[in-house]
A and B are shown apart, each in its own frame.
Chain A
Amino acid sequence: MKRSTTSKARLTRRALLMQGSAIALVAACAPAVTSSPSPAASAGPSAAPAAGAGTPKVGGTFAYASNVDVAPLIPGSTATVAHQRILSMMYEGLVTQDLHDTKNSAVAEKPWLAESWDISPDGLQYTFKLRQNVKFHDGTPFDADAVKVNFERATLTTSPHYDKTVAGLSAKIFNYVAKGEAVDKYTWRYTLKSPVGEFIRLLADRVILMVSPAALQKYGPAGIVDHPIGTGPFKFVQRVAGQKIELAKNAEYWGGAPKLDKVIMTIIPDAQARLAALRSGEIDFVTEMDPDQAATYRADANVSVVFNPSPMTWVWMLNNRQGPTTNKKVRQALNYAWNRNALVKDLLLDLAAPAIAPAAPSHPASPPTHAQYTYDPEKAKKLLAEAGYANGFSMTLAYGDRGANDQVNTLIQSDFRKIGVDVKLEKMEYAAFLSMFSKGLPDQYGAGQTFWATSAHLGQWLETVFSSQFQPPKGNNRTWYSSAEVDRLLDEARPISDPKKSAEAYRKVLDVVMEDAPWVWFYHDKNPMAVRKRVRGLDITSSPFFDLQPVWVDA
């Protein structure tokens, strides 16, 4: 099998990208996608109004608010969205997600610092032709040696740049890799241990972004955090801890100089304060809003509310190892027992969509073929009786204090009470909850409530949360679900590289999971964001990330 993009295609990509639709080019390597109807009615992504319209204006500042400060500005040190967002403005990888693909519910991957790649017929060798004439912000040329240094940073314990955290977080990619080598100055090759169909998509997952090897050498592991130097459209200017991070345009950017002079990420933890800052025009973009604020945002004539249907799904992960929830019928009963309309329409004001599966609609395996669960309390009671819990049972739910969890959980609690299941809600401070939960659900809890963030668009994500091999501490199967069939299907799906066949194979996994119902899945977040109408050319896709290179701000 051979797949590559031609140089002719490369010439047109830039132009296509500027128009905000580079879909045709990447169709060859795009996963199966489902087209989505209008954003208001579905969980489809939406572009900012008049994106790309008008005469582009050079200069100006784009400021956006983050609700949290972020880790050191060095790739691979965390897997949080806020961190990877600001990083991917400065750093780039060999492959990227198409952040202008506003039409599809799942964004495709496309070549980036690698301009094309070949895959050997046995699916083991991935040979990347690297883009030439790319320079890091410090003037260091980007070439295969730079890729090598960054690869060793995550894999070679004897490398002076080796970082244990980076190694840990990139293990989900590099565990599959037997060897990485520079073939010549502009050719890089990964040799895999066994075929992994999703390898390209894994590489686009923002854990591996290229850091200037000269900067790594010069500043060392401690100093590099103050000197973030990548190849991206924006360069680091300054960081004031707890306050803001400021970037300036990279006039020599290989993809063309950005229109904006400056990008500022300002940290505003309070939701009301973010709202006020956006409405006053101090900032241009808010990425996190409380659902009950959406109406206020919408009422402002200068502000648009856009949707970024993230791969997040809000779930209760049931205890599959201990208690009544070890019984499949009980778990199914709970999925039948809650009122979709009351939750999504009345409580979440349509800013979310009822979950169709544990994986979001943007997941390659979606939509599942397994029949969907509906609100059917009678059926739930029947299933409970069959499982031997005709009189119900009680259990405890653990959850963290971030987000609108209280109201959601209370509503679900009242629905479950109607079928005789008494849920005690145990709310914990977020850090305390996460520390406990990431080690796997303790026996005393019947469920833990959570959502998934950065990697939930990957087929591989099913493996990390449902494979019995990935129970903690090795992975994120925190619910202790174990199914020989799922394990077998995952093994079958992993090597398939044809996007359609891969999606089908993962769909089989999802179907089994839906039947077994190890979780109760509630809703997919439409993730409303607010942007000032003066911002032009900003595409909001189903990825939580965005490309500011073509963006400008009208005066």
Chain B
Amino acid sequence: MTRYIVGRLLQTIPVLWGASLIVFLLIRLIPGDAATVLLGSDATPENTEALREQLGLNEPIVVQYWHWLVKVLQGDLGVSIQTRAPVFETLMGKFGNTLILTMAAMVIAAVVGVSAGVVSATKRHSVFDRVAMVIALFGNSMPAFWLGLILVLTLGLGLGWFPTGGMYSLRGDGGLGDLLRHLILPAITLASVTTALVARMVRSSMLEVLNQDYMTTARGKGLTNRTTIWRHGFRNALLPVVTVLGLQFGYLLGGAVVTETVFVWPGIGLMTFTAIGTRDVPVIQGAILMTATSFVLINLVVDLAYAYLDPRIKYS
């Protein structure tokens, strides 16, 4: 098992290196650089050249990449071209914010999605089943920016129940209550697609399991309906659901750009998005490294979870 994990972790190194190289080259291939954006439209080419020299942007691309790589290996992600703030510290803060939002969304997706899916499967063709599946279809097809805006307009501006954006109130002094109030709308928005996906997945997976012989056996043994469904049915239906949740989790950690933009949630997605606009290469690179790392790690956790859920799966 340990060997398997170490092997998997070693595999991440070429993945991360490859990702960093591709992103670095792509950013350099598109025209326009940080110095131009930073100085604004009034600057002359002479001004831009001076700044480019200051920032080391006039060196050959291979040299620039080498400098960056050497620093990264020493644990230094460099400083942002836009703000000159250290990239690692800046991104860790943003990553933490995205993690909070993503966890909240995953909790909503898991609780609501799984419950709806299980109930729908056990009460197939009931009113609940039909209504839940229509809502799921709706949730799956609604673009996040639309749902986000509707929530802002109704619950935020209309009823004034929730703040319209940000993570903490600008005038308050923060605190958990303030955070939770700011968290609810973006978390619901972000969770919508995943919840719908999970609900539909759980339902179809459960339906398959419910017809299996071992379910009849379990009932025949005299187990209660609840125990049969949750211990024998749900656990066996869980495998594909875990895969979906894991992938979605990794995917959302990479930055829910749209949700973060609509709700001004200061996460890694919004940061990466603006960094691309300003050609802030160190920030983009740092964000990609962080995202890729978390994605690989989450995939590993999902794979390990399989072994726990299904004793037939063994890693060696």
Chain A interface residues toward B at CB < 8 A: 61, 63, 68-72, 77-81, 83, 163-165, 167-169, 171, 222, 225, 239-244, 264, 266, 268-270, 272-273, 276-277, 279-280, 282-283, 428-436, 438-439, 450-455, 464, 472-476
Cα distance A163–B55 when bound, in Å? 12
Give the shortest distance, in Å, between B189 (CB) and chain A (any CB). Answer: 13
Per-residue interface assignment for chain B, residues 90 to 105, with 1 indicating a CB less than 8 Å from any chain A CB and 0 otherwise: 1001100000000000
Interface size counted on chain B using CB atoms at 8 A: 55
Q: Are B50 and A168 in contact (CB under 8 A)?
A: yes
Q: Are A270 and B264 in contact (CB under 8 A)?
A: yes
Q: Are A432 and B47 in contact (CB under 8 A)?
A: no
Q: Are B166 and A282 in contact (CB under 8 A)?
A: yes
Give the shortest distance, in Å, between B185 (CB) and chain A (any CB). Answer: 11
Give the shortest distance, in Å, between B263 (CB) and chain A (any CB). Answer: 7
Cα distance A494–B21 when bound, in Å? 51
Q: Are B44 and A435 in contact (CB under 8 A)?
A: no
How many CB-defined contacts (below 8 Å) exist between A and B?
176
Sample of 27 A–B contacts (CB below 8 Å): A69-B274, A71-B38, A72-B83, A78-B40, A79-B43, A83-B40, A163-B54, A164-B51, A168-B44, A222-B84, A225-B84, A241-B82, A266-B170, A268-B264, A269-B261, A273-B152, A273-B261, A276-B153, A280-B163, A430-B277, A435-B31, A438-B45, A438-B48, A453-B42, A473-B44, A473-B45, A474-B44
Q: Using Cβ atoms and an 8 Å threshold, which residues of chain B touch A277?
A: 164-166, 264
Q: Are B156 and A280 in contact (CB under 8 A)?
A: yes
Q: Using Cβ atoms and an 8 Å threshold, which residues of chain A touch B33?
A: 431, 435
Q: Are B32 and A434 in contact (CB under 8 A)?
A: yes
Q: Are A273 and B277 in contact (CB under 8 A)?
A: no
User: B262: CB under 8 A from chain A?
Assistant: yes
Q: Are B94 and A242 in contact (CB under 8 A)?
A: yes
Closest to A80 in B: B40
Closest to A272 in B: B149
Q: Using Cβ atoms and an 8 Å threshold, which residues of chain A touch B156?
A: 276, 280
Cα distance A507–B307 when bound, in Å? 81
Cα distance A266–B48 when bound, in Å? 27
Cα distance A168–B48 when bound, in Å? 8
Q: Using Cβ atoms and an 8 Å threshold, which residues of chain B touch A474?
A: 44, 46
Please tell me which one of the listed residues B44, B170, B261, B279 contacts residue A476 in the complex, with CB atoms under 8 A apart. Answer: B44
Q: Are A242 and B30 in contact (CB under 8 A)?
A: no
Please tell me which one of the listed residues A240, A273, A431 contacts residue B262 in the complex, with CB atoms under 8 A apart. Answer: A273
Check A472/B164 contact, CB under 8 A, given A63-B170, A242-B90: no
Give the shortest distance, in Å, between B286 (CB) and chain A (any CB). Answer: 12
Cα distance A273–B261 when bound, in Å? 8
User: B171: CB under 8 A from chain A?
Assistant: yes
Top 9 A-B residue pairs of the complex, sorted by shortest distance between their CB atoms: A431-B32, A473-B45, A80-B40, A276-B164, A168-B47, A432-B32, A435-B32, A432-B31, A168-B50
Q: Are A429 and B30 in contact (CB under 8 A)?
A: yes
Closest to B36 in A: A435
Q: Using Cβ atoms and an 8 Å threshold, which residues of chain B touch A273?
A: 152, 164-165, 261-264
Give the shortest distance, in Å, between B135 (CB) and chain A (any CB). Answer: 25
Sample of 17 more A-B contacts, CB < 8 Å, known A69-B274, A472-B44? A63-B170, A69-B278, A72-B84, A80-B39, A269-B261, A272-B152, A280-B160, A431-B279, A432-B31, A434-B41, A436-B31, A438-B36, A438-B48, A452-B41, A453-B41, A454-B40, A473-B44
Q: Are A164 and B50 in contact (CB under 8 A)?
A: yes
Q: Using Cβ atoms and an 8 Å threshold, which residues of chain B touch A453?
A: 40-42
CB under 8 Å from chain A, chain B span 266-313: 266, 270-271, 273-274, 277-279
Cα distance A455–B261 when bound, in Å? 31
Q: Are A282 and B44 in contact (CB under 8 A)?
A: no
Q: Are A241 and B83 in contact (CB under 8 A)?
A: yes
Give the shortest distance, in Å, between A271 (CB) and chain B (any CB). Answer: 11
Chain B interface residues toward A at CB < 8 A: 30-33, 36-51, 53-54, 80, 82-85, 90, 93-94, 149, 152-153, 156-157, 160, 163-166, 169-171, 261-264, 266, 270-271, 273-274, 277-279
Check A78/B39 contact, CB under 8 A, given A273-B261, A273-B264: yes
Give the shortest distance, in Å, between A527 (CB) and chain B (any CB). Answer: 16
Cα distance A194–B262 when bound, in Å? 54
Give the shortest distance, in Å, between B1 (CB) and chain A (any CB). Answer: 40
Closest to B153 in A: A276
Closest to B48 in A: A438
Cα distance A266–B270 when bound, in Å? 14
Q: Are B30 and A473 in contact (CB under 8 A)?
A: no
Most buried by B among A164, A171, A438: A438
Q: Are B274 and A476 in contact (CB under 8 A)?
A: no
Please tell me which one of the listed residues B31, B40, B50 contacts residue A79 in the complex, with CB atoms under 8 A apart. Answer: B40
Most buried by A among B32, B90, B278: B32
Give the shortest distance, in Å, between A4 (CB) and chain B (any CB). Answer: 32
Give the shortest distance, in Å, between A519 (CB) and chain B (any CB). Answer: 15
Q: Are B263 and A164 in contact (CB under 8 A)?
A: no
Q: Are A241 and B36 in contact (CB under 8 A)?
A: no
Cα distance A167–B53 when bound, in Å? 13
Q: Are A165 and B50 in contact (CB under 8 A)?
A: yes
Please tell me which one of the listed residues A165, A268, A276 contacts residue B47 in the complex, with CB atoms under 8 A apart. Answer: A165
Cα distance A242–B39 when bound, in Å? 17
Q: Are B157 and A242 in contact (CB under 8 A)?
A: no
Q: Are A242 and B170 in contact (CB under 8 A)?
A: no
Cα distance A473–B46 when bound, in Å? 6
Check A438/B54 contact, CB under 8 A, given A266-B170, A431-B278: no
Cα distance A474–B46 when bound, in Å? 6
Please tell me which one of the listed residues A165, A222, A264, A433 contacts residue B170 in the complex, with CB atoms under 8 A apart. Answer: A264
Q: Are A241 and B90 in contact (CB under 8 A)?
A: yes
Check A268/B165 contact, CB under 8 A, given A71-B38, A243-B266, A432-B31: yes
Q: Are A452 and B37 in contact (CB under 8 A)?
A: no
Q: Are A472 and B157 in contact (CB under 8 A)?
A: no
Q: Are B37 and A431 in contact (CB under 8 A)?
A: yes
Q: Using Cβ atoms and an 8 Å threshold, which residues of chain A touch B278?
A: 68-69, 431
Give the shortest distance, in Å, between A156 (CB) and chain B (any CB). Answer: 15
Cα distance A450–B157 when bound, in Å? 36
Q: Are A280 and B39 in contact (CB under 8 A)?
A: no
Give the shortest distance, in Å, between A29 (CB) and chain B (any CB). Answer: 24
Give the shortest distance, in Å, between B126 (CB) and chain A (any CB). Answer: 39
Q: Are B47 and A169 in contact (CB under 8 A)?
A: yes
Cα distance A455–B43 when bound, in Å? 10
Check A439/B50 contact, CB under 8 A, given A69-B274, A430-B277, A453-B40: no
Q: Are A473 and B49 in contact (CB under 8 A)?
A: yes
Q: Are A168 and B51 in contact (CB under 8 A)?
A: yes
Give the shortest distance, in Å, between A195 (CB) and chain B (any CB). Answer: 24
